[in-house]
């Protein structure tokens, strides 16, 4: 009997923490699903069978056929969901797509049971979502925006959360049986009210998924400081938890107060995106656009938005409290339509980056990054239009929240300590070097030659080459298609380099980041005409010893008109007696007129050492099965020779820089679909 009484006393905390873990796992599995499908399509350069994984979003329809009335079915769904969370990190390819798809499907079942009040009714939704977000931020902060419990070496964290969820589910089993046996009183919301409430629920989920659970990516969206962003979010969520549990402030807010809170949040969110959006360059003869960082006013708007962001958690909790008491059958159809809209918003966000690859319709999505955010923001406000007595049914925080509050505070201080430990350390940088190694590396959005996530493999390649200046292409994956990861920060933290990220994610490029062992200054991005990919060229000055070197990182693509506009911009940058290095994936070979334009002004490092384009290669690292494939990475010849006459990854240097040696590491040994290319340089007369 004592155990039962103890269970009932702690049922609120147990249920709340269980919901937080389940919601965290859902966000992770949704992230894996979208990212894996995108990677599979990226590998094949077209949509393939993996797209079937999106059918998970249709799962609410299944509850129209048969709802889960039996507690064993509900618990079984949770157990299966946890099982897939256990297996998912250890599989790849289509298996990962399949498991993450099934996980999303199962969670939508769980979600509708929670919304209806037929499962985990004793939980506090607002506190559960708050804790889930805090855990997500902590894990991402430890992993430099990467899900460390899923992809990092600390898989013990994933196992710990899974074991905790099993324990909590077991601990509340008796209360769950009692709840499932209670008579369900079906609320009489109108159809339009149900649709609006469910729209609000899925709009909140969309914003959690897009950035609130992984706020570090906002640094790449807007250019605001990463550490400040993380502190702002965690501080505001922690304050929300304290206000919710220790005061009546949140509970006493009236409807118009919450509407105003939402309006200010949505306005600052949309403004944060709009002021960082560049105008589309429609014609080849149009002037290029130069964007310089940072901008304090723009950053302040982002910080204000983050301080207001807990309103999304409050909205979710309020909408859920209104839905409690409705049967799952009534919720199923509105949830299906809301889920479809949610999927559409995800696809729109992806298409804003790949608009040039999806046919004529693609131009609709060009420069439309704000659209899914705007739609989700409107969705948050819609329920307030028709629900007259929204706050009467709001959740009440029950006694026994000490563990939850303590958990929130521990997470907050854990995040703060992690940020401090990962702070950039300038003392490790070299003060003087006679030679510098410059490397250009198209990392194919963190994916290897075979379509597998390869962050650690690519980092190993970089460390072995040990460059002083690193130019990355296809490095911007701080969006849903890239798993909301920031691979540039992942590299930067582990190399302890200075960094210029280049074009912001909002602008729709594939990324051209510059990392340097030496200090950098005067960073800017130049956008030129494009008709397939947005072309953003990163430029900064690197201080080596006391000499300034202009670094230009390139990734043009599209028709000849787009390549021409980009090449002409580069030619205008070149001046006499200037130390300049222009590197990147140019998408043209040495036979193109654009190559000849640049090489008439600068020297190609490869041809400086190997005038015939055929150099040395270590066959011990070569994949001999692919020796005659992937001409962009070079063709292997006899006697340890590598034919790079068809290369498209180049390093050009000014005449006052001297090449000591240069190399290519071809794919797949490069852990990408492009070769890694580097050169050891010396400033003449030094």
Domains in the chain, CATH or no CATH each: 2-278+290-421 (1.20.1250), 435-683 (3.60.10.10)
User: 3-class secondary structure for 66-131?
Assistant: CCCCCHHHHHHHHHHHHHHHHHHHHCCHHHHHHHHHHHHHHHHHHHHHHHHCCCCCCCCHHHHHHH
Strands 520-528, 535-544: parallel, antiparallel or unpaired by DSSP? antiparallel
Rg (CA), the chain: 27
β strands within 566-631, DSSP E: 580-585, 603-604, 614-616
**Residues in Cβ contact with 104 at an 8 Å cutoff, skipping those fewer than 6 apart:** 26, 29, 30, 33, 56, 57, 59
Q: How do residues 630-682 score in pLDDT, each as one tens digit?
A: 567 788 887 788 999 999 999 999 989 999 999 999 988 999 999 999 999 99
Chain mean position to CA 653? 34
What is the tens place of the pLDDT at every residue in 372-381? 999 999 999 9
Give 10's pLDDT tier (boundaries 50, 70, 90): confident
**Structure pTM?**
0.92
Confidence label for 1 from pLDDT (cuts 50, 70 and 90): very low
Angstrom distance (rounded) from CA 498 to CA 484 = 22
What is the length of the chain? 686
Q: Could you give the count of Cα atoms lying within 13 Å of 423 in the half-sphere of its Cβ?
A: 11
- Cα separation values, 66 from 75, 110, 119, Å: 16, 14, 16
Q: What is the mean pLDDT of residues 421-435?
A: 64
By the 10 Å C-beta count (0-12 exposed, 13-18 middle, 19+ buried), 253 is classed as middle
Instruction: Give me the mean pLDDT over the 174-201 stretch.
Output: 72
Question: What is the Cα–Cα distance from 330 to 67, expressed in whole angstroms?
Answer: 10
Q: Is the dihedral of CA 540, 544, 545, 547 positive or negative?
A: negative
Say how far apart CA 344 and CA 53 lie, in whole Å: 14
- Tens digits of residue pLDDT in 575-585: 877 899 999 99
Confidence of residue 453 (pLDDT cuts 50, 70, 90): confident
CA atoms within 13 A on the CB side of 336: 13
């Amino acid at each position: 009997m004592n155990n039962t009484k103890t269970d009932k006393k702690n049922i609120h905390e147990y249920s709340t923490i269980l919901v937080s873990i389940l919601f965290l796992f859902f966000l992770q599995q949704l992230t894996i699903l979208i990212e894996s499908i995108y990677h599979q399509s990226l590998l094949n350069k077209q949509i393939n069978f993996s797209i079937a994984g999106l059918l998970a979003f249709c799962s609410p329809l299944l509850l129209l056929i048969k709802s889960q009335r039996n507690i064993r079915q509900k618990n079984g769904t949770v157990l299966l969901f946890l099982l897939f969370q256990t297996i998912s990190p250890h599989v790849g390819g289509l298996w990962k797509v399949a498991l993450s798809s099934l996980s999303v499907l199962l969670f939508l079942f769980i979600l509708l049971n929670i919304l209806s009040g037929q499962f985990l009714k004793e939980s506090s939704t607002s506190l559960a979502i708050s804790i889930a977000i805090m855990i997500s931020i902590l894990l991402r902060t430890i992993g430099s925006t990467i899900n460390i419990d899923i992809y990092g070496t600390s898989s013990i964290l994933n196992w710990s959360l899974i074991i905790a969820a099993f324990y909590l589910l077991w601990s509340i089993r008796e209360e769950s049986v009692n709840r499932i046996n209670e008579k369900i009183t079906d609320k009489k919301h109108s159809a339009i009210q149900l649709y609006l409430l469910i729209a609000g629920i899925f709009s909140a989920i969309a914003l959690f998924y897009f950035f609130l659970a992984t706020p570090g990516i906002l640094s790449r969206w807007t250019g605001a400081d990463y550490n400040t962003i993380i502190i702002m979010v965690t501080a505001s969520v922690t304050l929300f938890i304290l206000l919710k549990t220790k005061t009546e402030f949140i509970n006493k807010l009236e409807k118009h107060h919450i509407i105003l809170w939402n309006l200010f949040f949505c306005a600052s969110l949309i403004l944060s995106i709009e002021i960082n959006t560049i105008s589309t360059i429609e014609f080849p003869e149009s002037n290029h656009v130069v964007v310089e960082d940072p901008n304090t006013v723009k950053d302040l708007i982002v910080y204000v938005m983050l301080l207001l962001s807990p309103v999304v958690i409050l909205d979710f909790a309020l909408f859920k409290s209104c839905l409690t008491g409705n049967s799952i059958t009534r919720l199923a159809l509105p949830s299906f339509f809301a889920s479809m809209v949610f999927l559409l918003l995800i696809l729109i966000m992806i298409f804003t980056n790949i608009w040039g690859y999806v046919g004529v319709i693609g131009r609709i999505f060009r420069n439309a990054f704000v659209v899914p955010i705007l739609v989700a923001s409107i969705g948050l406000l819609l329920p307030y239009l028709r629900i007259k007595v929204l706050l009467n049914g709001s959740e009440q925080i029950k006694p026994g929240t000490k563990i939850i509050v303590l958990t929130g505070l521990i997470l907050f201080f854990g995040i703060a300590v992690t940020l401090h430990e990962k702070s950039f350390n300038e003392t490790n940088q070299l003060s003087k070097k006679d030679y510098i190694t410059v490397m250009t590396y198209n990392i194919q959005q963190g994916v290897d030659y075979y379509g597998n996530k390869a962050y650690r493999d690519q980092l190993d390649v970089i460390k072995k080459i040990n460059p002083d200046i690193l130019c990355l292409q296809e490095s911007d994956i701080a969006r849903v298609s890239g798993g909301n990861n920031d691979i540039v920060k992942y590299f930067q933290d582990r190399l302890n380099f200075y960094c210029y990220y280049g074009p912001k994610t909002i602008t729709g490029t594939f990324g051209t980041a510059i990392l340097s062992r030496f200090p950098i200054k005067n960073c800017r991005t130049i956008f030129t005409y494009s008709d397939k990919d947005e072309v953003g060229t990163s430029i900064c000055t690197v201080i080596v010893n006391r000499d300034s070197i202009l670094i230009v990182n390139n990734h043009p693509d599209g028709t000849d008109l787009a390549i021409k506009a980009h090449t002409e911009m580069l030619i205008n940058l070149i001046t006499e007696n200037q130390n300049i290095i222009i590197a990147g994936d140019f998408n043209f070979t040495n036979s193109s007129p654009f190559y000849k334009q640049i090489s008439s002004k600068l020297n190609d490092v490869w041809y400086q050492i190997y005038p015939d384009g055929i150099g040395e290669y270590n066959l011990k690292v070569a994949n001999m099965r692919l020796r005659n494939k992937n001409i962009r990475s070079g063709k292997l010849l006899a006697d340890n020779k590598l034919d790079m006459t068809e290369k498209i990854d180049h390093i050009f240097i000014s005449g006052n820089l001297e090449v000591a040696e240069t190399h290519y590491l071809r794919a797949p040994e490069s852990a990408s679909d492009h070769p890694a290319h580097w050169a050891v340089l010396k400033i003449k007369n030094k």
